Homo-oligomer: A and B are copies of this chain.
Amino acid sequence: MTNIPDQSNGANKRITISVDAMGGDRGPAAVVAGIARAAHKNPQFEFLLFGPEPELRKLVRRRSRLGQKRKLMDCCKIRHVEEVVSMEDKPSQVLRNGKGTSMWAAVDAVRGGEADAVVSCGNTGALMLVSMIRLKKLPGVDRPAIACLWPSRSPGGFNVLLDVGADIRADARNLLQYALMGASYARNGLELSRPRIGLMNVGTEENKGHTEIREAHDLITSAAEDANFEFVGFVEGRDIPSGRVDVIVTDGFTGNIALKTGEGTALLIREFLREAFRATPLSRIAALLAVTSLRRLSKRIDPRRVNGGVFLGLNGTVVKSHGSADAVGVASAIGLACRLAKSRFNERLAARVASFNPGGQDERGGTAEAAGKERER
C-alpha cells in the first residue's frame, strides 16, 4: 500500500504513536521488534511504549545495538506501568481494575493529546471497552466498529471490511453509520475519492436477507449522494476480495466469522502450496527457480501484512493488532496507525459522521464548523 501524502497543517509536528507493549501472545519482545521495523520505515514518528520499564528498556537497548541506522532508543520513550490486561480478563474486570494497566495508559496517552494514535495486541473486548470509556464515542455514532483491510482485486490491492467484531449485533442505523465510517476510512486510508460501498447479504437480490439488512439497504441508498460514495447494493461473501467494491459493511458477528474464515482458508492454501513444492524432486527444483515469485505470492496472501483492525467511531485512532502477531504483524499495525495519524483521519471521520447527525450526544466531538471544513474528505 502506498503512503498517504502528509496533509496535516502542522507538518513539522512530530507524530507520536502510543504502544501497549503487553498483552500480546508473544510478549513484549515481539512488540519491540515490531516497533523497530516500523521505526525504520517511518523515521518521522515517535513512539511511547507502555509496560514494565526494566524489561522494556532491556529489549529496546538490544534492538538499538542491532546496527540499524536509527537507534530505537532515540525515538522511543518508555512509560513504566506495572499491570497487564491478559487475554483471559473479562472486559468488566478491566473496567473495574484496569486503571494501572499498560492498555489503559496507552489509550490515555491519546486522550491526553500526548499521542496521535494507539496500538495494542491485547484482548479485543477489553481494548474496545477501555477505548470507549477513555476516548468516548464520536458525536452521532451509536456503535463503534472495527474495520480491517482485505487483499483484493481492487486497484489499491485492498478492500475494507467492517464491523469485524466490535459488536455482535447491528441494526439498520448502525449499518448506515458503518457505511459512512467505512467510506471515510477508504477515502483516507486507501486514497479513494469516491469509494464503492457494498452491504453484505446472502444474495444480491433486493428481497433477500433479514429485515434490518433490507432497511439498511434503503438508508444507505439515500445517504450515498450526500456522503459522496457509490452504493453498489448487496454483495456476497465472494465479493469481499473482489474488484467490484471497496468497502463491505456487515454486523460484527458475520464480519468476524468472514474475516477468520478468509484467514483460515489462506493459511490452509499456503500449507497445501508448501506441501505441493515438497512433493517430488522436480517440484523442489521448481520451488527454487520460482523462489522470488513464490515469496511475492506468499507476501500477498500473508494475513500478517494486513494486520491491524482500526476502531472507528471514537475520539481517537485505535489500532488493534492480532494477539498472536509477530514482529512483521506488529510493524504492519504500527505502520497503519502512522498513516492514519499522519492523514488526520480521525478528525475527518468525525466531521463526516457529524455532518450526517447534527447535534451529537458527546461532549468531546468535533464542532459543526470543523464538520464544514472537513466535509471534503
Contacts and interface: CB of A to CB of B under 8 A. Distances in A.
Interface string A246-268: 00001011101111111111111
Copies in the complex: 2
Contact of A293 (B239, B276, B296, B300): B276
Contacts of A301: 269, 272
A237 interface: yes
Contacts of A294: 276, 283
Interface string A271-301: 1110111011011011111101110110011
B260 A236 contact: yes
Contacts of A316: none
Contact of A268 (B207, B237, B241, B276): B241
Given A285-B289, A286-B286, A296-B279, A262 B260 contact: no
Contacts of A268: 151-153, 241
A237 B209 contact: no
Nearest to A237: B260
Contacts of A261: 237-238, 240, 258, 261-262, 265
A165 interface: yes
B264 A266 contact: no
Contact of A290 (B90, B250, B264, B276): B276
B293 A252 contact: no
Contact of A257 (B153, B257, B267): B257
A211 B287 CA distance: 49
A200 interface: yes
Contacts of A276: 290, 293-294, 296-297
B254 A241 contact: no
Contact of A237 (B256, B271, B275): B256
Output the residue of A207, A257, A265 with the most chain B CB within 10 A.
Answer: A265
A168 interface: yes
12 contacts: A168-B210, A209-B253, A237-B257, A237-B264, A254-B257, A258-B258, A261-B265, A269-B301, A272-B297, A273-B297, A283-B294, A286-B293
